[in-house]
Structure 1
Amino acid sequence: MKRGIFLLVLATILWGGNYICGRFLSQELPPTLLNTIRWGLSTVLLWGLLAINKKSFPLLSKAKEFFILGFFGVFAFSTLNYVGLRYLHASVAGMISAGIPIFILLLSPLFLKEKISVKAWIGTVISIAGVILLIQGKQADASEGSLLGEIAILLSCLAWGLYTVLGKRYAKDTDPLTLTAGAAFYGTILSGISCIGTVDASMIHLSTTGLLCILYVSTCASVGAYLAWNAGVKIVGAGKAAPYINLLPVWTVVFGVPLFDEQLSFVTSIGGVITITGAVLASYKGEEKKKMEQLHSAGGR
């Protein structure tokens, strides 16, 4: 059990590192190009894992499912995250992302016909109030750019919510590794297309540190986190694993504040705590509840 919890925590740490690297790379690469490079490398690694596990890669027969998941979970989620990180502190972006379970909760009845409990509704209201406080906390240094960043992160939460609920539906006849690899393949293509007209040489200022960050987000924050999370879920069970995803914003604060000397106002800090508390309350399910397939991919993170 302890090994399983360690793996779950490790996965959230690796995902948290993506926000830190994304914040650093936001000044060195356009978001669309960064996302294309990241997922291009990740696709190769995921394809290799499929080969090692002797799994087929049905790119054509599952094209519809892979394309939809690639659009929401790889292209939209990651690109919007990197856009947001151009204007927001990594710690603030991470705390806003604590609202992801709320989007999953709200979308589940629409796509999966799942009922929402009273406790989950209470958690939803609390988390939404926390996000509002987070945004208000940024008004002290508000600008058009910070508002754009907040909108981008909120839209990325919606994209990940759609990716998760649709992924749960498609996972009925396709394993998570294959789904992730397929989504990465089509998401990379979409990201590459989005570079047309949005990228020119003058926007690229890649340093040695930037190269290391790209290596990290393409391996540790994608494939490594995916393996750790799924191994942890297998050991402790999906129900017990669910609340651990809410550690993600905690790590963005732990890493972002000392590495970037980010300053958090009192209102922003309180908003983050409320958002995380509401998300934990809304997403937690006991053993007796129906098992929920939990964010099965390191994908967009």
Structure 2
Amino acid sequence: MSSTAGRRIDLTTLFLLTFPPLAWAGNAIVGRLAAGTIPPITLNFVRWVLAGLLLAPYAWRGVLAHRAALRQHAGVLAAMGALSIASYNAFQYLALTTSTPINVTLIGASTPLFLLIIGALFFGERVKGWHVAGALLCLVGVSFVLLRGDVARLAQLDFVAGDLFMLAATVTWSAYTWLLRKQRPDLPLPVLLFAQIVTGVIVSLPFTAWELATLDHALQWNPKVAGILLYVATIPSLMAYFVWDRAIARAGAQLPVFFITLTPLFAALLSTLLLGDWPRWYHAAGLAFIAAGIVLAQRR
């Protein structure tokens, strides 16, 4: 069979589909470990500066060869960098200062819900019945996580600030995804990523300067900080991005969506092993509703 559904998933493809969710779950764990050590906006800024420096030798020739296209699409690239590099990642690290990796990754797994809403409101996408049903299931799952399984929190509006930051991150990532789908410049992947990193770092610079100026203590540079920065600049930034691109090329666009739901599972496992943060019943309930919603929304 020539369709994606009929392809056999070999070990290489299975690795390509599994590695990015594991890397992104690890990013949530490391972001939690960084809380109180590295300010969140500064962590995001330094992460992408390092990632850009590592990528530059491989992308620079392409940047020079496509400089006319880069100038032509400067506005779109700036918006992509602001939404993904500057906003999404900064919101995620802000979320991890008060929320848990399990909560953050579960809320992030509800992206299909926000993709549906933003697509319908701003990009003229048709919404079908099973899309709405899937979105509602995702919403129920997110609600379980936000309310910690306690409906009384809804009346009190007693949410953890980090959960709300992660909701903001999910909205910005959904907007970025639609922009990438509808207005992606015809550029090689290294060039496109490098351009987004540069624009995202520029947008992040004043916010990073403000955060550092308002600190009541000096930054502590030590082996732990160096290890955190090395990890976030390489594994979830560059390696996961390129592996995910290869996974989609081998498996198509449908199958990888289901593997994204592994991120909160990996986050729960790593949280238990490394942070002693055991999952609760509402995490399992939330994941079940979110996964069911994604499956239903992907129905053809």
Smaller-chain TM-score range?
0.7 to 0.9
Secondary structure of the residue aligned to 1:204 is coil
Aligned counterpart in structure 2 of residue 212 of structure 1, from 206, 210, 227: 227
Aligned counterpart in structure 2 of residue 155 of structure 1, from 163, 168, 175: 168
Q: Write the deviation string for residues 229-285 of structure 1: whole angstroms up to 9, x where unpaired.
A: 111111111122222222222211121122111133322332233223323432x35
User: C-alpha displacement at 1:165, in angstroms?
Assistant: 0.4
Counterpart CA distance in 1 for 2:185 and 2:77 is 14
Q: State whether residues 29 and 206 of structure 1, in contact with CA within 8 Å, keep that contact through their aligned partners in structure 2.
A: no
User: C-alpha displacement at 1:187, in angstroms?
Assistant: 0.7
Aligned counterpart in structure 2 of residue 79 of structure 1, from 72, 90, 97: 90
Q: Does 1:235 align with 2:250?
A: yes
When residues 210 and 281 of structure 1 are mapped into structure 2, their CA distance, relative to the original with a 3 A threshold, is farther
Q: Does 1:92 align with 2:103?
A: yes
Q: Write the deviation string for residues 179-222 of structure 1: whole angstroms up to 9, x where unpaired.
A: 32211111111112112222146152343122112111111101
Gaps of 5+ in 2: 1-8
Runs of 4 or more off by more than 4 Å in structure 1? 52-55, 142-146
Q: Write the deviation string for residues 122-149 of structure 1: whole angstroms up to 9, x where unpaired.
A: 1110110111111111769x89996211
Counterpart CA distance in 2 for 1:139 and 1:191 is 37
Q: Write the deviation string for residues 13-54 of structure 1: whole angstroms up to 9, x where unpaired.
A: 111111111111122111111111001111223333324668
Alignment of 1:173-188 (within 5 A): 173-188=186-201
- Normalised TM-score (structure 1): 0.85
Q: How big is the alpha-carbon RMSD for the aligned residues of Structure 1 and Structure 2?
A: 2.5
Structure 1 stretch displaced more, 177-186 or 7-16? 177-186
Alignment of 1:26-105 (within 5 A): 26-51=35-60, 56-57=66-67, 59-105=70-116
When residues 63 and 138 of structure 1 are mapped into structure 2, their CA distance, relative to the original with a 3 A threshold, is farther
When residues 203 and 126 of structure 1 are mapped into structure 2, their CA distance, relative to the original with a 3 A threshold, is farther
Counterpart CA distance in 2 for 1:176 and 1:249 is 27
Match of 2:282 in 1: 267
Secondary structure of the residue aligned to 1:199 is helix
Identity in percent: 23
User: C-alpha displacement at 1:162, in angstroms?
Assistant: 0.5
Q: State whether residues 99 and 161 of structure 2, in contact with CA within 8 Å, keep that contact through their aligned partners in structure 1.
A: no
Structure 1 stretch displaced more, 171-180 or 146-155? 171-180
Aligned residue pairs: how many?
284
Counterpart CA distance in 2 for 1:177 and 1:116 is 33
Counterpart CA distance in 2 for 1:277 and 1:252 is 19
Alignment of 1:104-183 (within 5 A): 104-137=115-148, 147-171=160-184, 173-183=186-196
User: C-alpha displacement at 1:56, in angstroms?
Assistant: 3.0
Counterpart CA distance in 1 for 2:180 and 2:237 is 17
- Normalised TM-score (structure 2): 0.86
Q: State whether residues 111 and 165 of structure 1, in contact with CA within 8 Å, keep that contact through their aligned partners in structure 2.
A: no
User: C-alpha displacement at 1:175, in angstroms?
Assistant: 4.0
Match of 1:299 in 2: none
Specify the structure having the higher radius of gyration (Cα): 2
